[in-house]
Amino acid sequence: MLPKVGFIGLGVMGKPMAMNLIKNGYSLRVYGRRKEAMAPLVEAGAVACGSAEEAARGCDVIFTMVTTTRDVQEVVLGERGVIAGARPGDIVVDMGTISPAATRAIAARLAEAGIEALDAPVSGGGIGAISGTLSIMVGGKPEIFERVNPLFSCMGKNIVHIGPNGAGQVAKACNQMVMLIALQGLAEAFAFARKSGLDSARVYEALSGGAAQSRILEVLGKRMVERNYDPGIEARLHYKDIQIVLDEAHTLGMALPGTALVTQMFNALIGRGGGNQDSSQLVEVIEAMSKNLL
């Protein structure tokens, strides 16, 4: 018999993820802050709830897919939160990208109530969520991971159990570091190419297929060449994610110079109003720094 599922957070990512669970035969209790968000899920057979607590009631596995650390703390531990509706033995799976330290604290708090927790942040964006091909990086007990793995398989393709609670968030942080520092490299390279009088499309072609090849070059590099900044992924999400990495480095007591610099570039991007456009805009921040005064 399939576990009963709660799903909280029905935005760009949460909605298609929840839909994929329904398509695979799971019965869902859902809650989204905006009532309209629940409508398509209800049409597909889900039960709409009035709070996270209500969505959690009677469920075996409860997913959360909300934006910030504070949102997760609110939804899971706050008033009318998941902890109020869940029973000992239930599993709470947070799939957002939040602070590893806060994740461990939330798991500890849930454990006090006999509730299990997994952190399972994802990579692959809205497209990956819709097509069920997300990468999922999981932290928590192995036996709990095993129980939730069949549900993860409805939402993702590359599913890796990284380690204990918090490990999923650390792996996601690593993902963002590699991806966003690569993005910085691309932005500087294309700005450098243009400043040298080159056609950035030719440079893109030259770099593809060589040692500098990466998904980031392929997808975001293309947007830089075309100066097409329709998201993709909204820069404000990367801006949020990369600060999480720095906060963790502060606590750990380690230097991450590249990450720190890229965070400043994202600060500037947000400061000039680019939060809702694609992160490939970073190239314009670099170009602005070295503007030629005619």
Measured from the CB atom, the residue of 212 and 249 that comes closer to another protein is 249
DSSP-assigned states of every residue in 213-278: --HHIIIIIHHHHHT----SSBHHHHHHHHHHHHHHHHHHT---HHHHHHHHHHHHHHHTT-TTSB
Cα 240 to Cα 10, 245, 264: the distances in Å are: 19, 9, 12
Residue span 64-83 as binding mask against another protein, x where in contact by CB under 8 A, dash where not: --------------------
Report the DSSP pairing between strands 28-31 and 47-48.
parallel
Query: Beta-carbon neighbour count of residue 153 at 10 Å?
Result: 14
Query: Is 291 labeled as catalytic in the residue annotation?
Result: no
Site for another protein in 221-280 (CB under 8 A): 239, 243, 246, 249-250, 252-257, 260-261, 263-265, 267-272
Catalytic residue among 4, 141, 172, 240: 172
Measured from the CB atom, the residue of 84 and 249 that comes closer to another protein is 249
Measured from the CB atom, the residue of 135 and 267 that comes closer to another protein is 267
Measured from the CB atom, the residue of 138 and 269 that comes closer to another protein is 269
Closest CA to 176 of 145, 218, 135, 127: 135
Measured from the CB atom, the residue of 88 and 290 that comes closer to another protein is 290
Closest CA to 172 of 238, 115, 250: 238
Q: How far is the CB of 276 from another protein (least distance, A)?
A: 13
Helix (H), strand (E) at residue 35: helix 35-43
Q: How far is the CB of 232 from another protein (least distance, A)?
A: 19
Query: Beta-carbon neighbour count of residue 294 at 10 Å?
Result: 3
Closest CA to 145 of 173, 117, 181, 171: 117
Q: How far is the CB of 258 from another protein (least distance, A)?
A: 9
Q: How far is the CB of 265 from another protein (least distance, A)?
A: 6
Q: How far is the CB of 255 from another protein (least distance, A)?
A: 4
Give the per-residue SS3 of 61-110.
Answer: EEEECCCCHHHHHHHHHCCCCHHHHCCCCCEEEECCCCCHHHHHHHHHHH
Measured from the CB atom, the residue of 133 and 264 that comes closer to another protein is 264
Cα 14 to Cα 5, 102, 266: the distances in Å are: 13, 21, 25
Q: How far is the CB of 250 from another protein (least distance, A)?
A: 6
Do you find a cis peptide bond into 232, omega within 30 degrees of 0?
yes
Positions in the binding site for another protein (CB under 8 A): 239, 243, 246, 249-250, 252-257, 260-261, 263-265, 267-272, 285
- Which active-site residues does the annotation give? 172
